[in-house]
Amino acid sequence: MRGYAAASLFALLCAIPFTHRVLTHEAGRWSSYYVAAFHAHFVLYFGNSCIGTGVVMLLALTVERFLSVCYPALARNLCGTARAYVTVTVIPVTTFLLYSPYLFLAHVVTCRSEAGSIVHLKEPTAWMVESLWFQAYKWILELVFKLVPALILVYLNVRIIRTYKAVCEKRRKMTNKVIGRVSGEQRRQFAEESRLMFLLGGTSTLFFVCMTPMIVLSLTIHKAWRHTVAFEVFRATANVLEVTNFAVTFYIYCIFSKDFRETFLRTLRFAKENSMGASFLGSVSGLKEAIRPP
């Protein structure tokens, strides 16, 4: 959960440069070379890498739930803290390596404007973008990080929901048969089970709805469509939905997952305590300097 939340947060942070560029109407030209190089080499690379990391993190989290619910005996041997740390480490490293060609999709060209000032332009690397191997590479990435995960997530969540509901119903019948009535603790347990069902169904539905337009856009894009109004509207909608998936998922987890809320609050308290500790140490250090004899 921490890995997926962190990946979603970084994906949202990477959307800020895109938003700033749209709001300031910077059409690929900047007065600063470093800003132009950042947009040419790193913005698209980090954005796609963080989105891909978030997708695979969600897939790993769903697989872990699937094993725990549908195959609990197997999960005891396969799922553990050490494997979780390895998974959370390997996924972003592998994803960033796979997206490394995006670092070279564009380059910076320096020229003079009509007013005589020096401007830096972002231009695509034509030989790379138009090559057949890069087109095949993009198709493979779309399959690996979007289409295949979307299908697997829907299938696994359906299996989890069915199995979990059957187990809960069986447990409820056995409890009622033995005790004869439902206790307060059991009501809280049933409510937690309902929240888990909403969490699984909500995340899978949101992922499928928000990511499908981007999958269609990536797999069906054609040069003849790029300058039409309908294509621009569809592309903008697909981009907004893709970012919305990571933004709304955070609130879904906060509402329906007690573990996620507790982890989030512990993280905030830890950051606050560190900030207060640093402030206290700074005050003590300043006091020592003030009372130190000459």
DSSP class per residue in 131-145: SHHHHHHHHHHHIII
The residue with greater pLDDT, 12 or 137, is: 137
pTM for this model (two decimals)? 0.75
Asked if residue 281 has pLDDT above 50, the reply is no
Phi, psi dihedrals of residue 107, rounded to the nearest 5°: -140, 170
Separation between Cα atoms, residue 235 and residue 221, nearest integer Å: 10
pLDDT at 276: 53
- At residue 2, the 3 state secondary structure works out as helix
Topology (CATH level 3) of domain 2-273: Rhopdopsin 7-helix transmembrane proteins (1.20.1070)
pLDDT digits (tens, 9 = 90+) for 89-101: 999 999 999 999 9
- At residue 293, the 3 state secondary structure works out as coil
pLDDT digits (tens, 9 = 90+) for 235-278: 888 888 888 887 787 777 777 777 777 777 776 776 566 655 55
* Cα–Cα distances in angstroms (integers) from residue 154 to residues 53, 138, 150, 224, 244, in the given order: 18, 23, 6, 33, 19
pLDDT at 189: 66
Question: Cβ distance 165 to 197 under 8 Å?
Answer: yes
The residue with greater pLDDT, 139 or 222, is: 139
Buried-state track 53-90, b at ≥16 Cβ within 10 A, e below 16: bbbbbbbbbbbbbbbbbbeeeebeeebeeeebeebbee
DSSP string, 193-206: HHHHHHHHHHHHHH
Question: Cβ distance 56 to 149 under 8 Å?
Answer: yes
Domain range annotation of the chain: 2-273
Sequence-ordered list of residues with C-beta below 8 angstroms from that of 235, at least 6 positions apart, any chain: 217
Candidate from 18-27, 76-85, 150-159, 186-195 with smallest mean pLDDT: 186-195
pLDDT at 26: 61
Asked if residue 82 has pLDDT above 60, the reply is yes
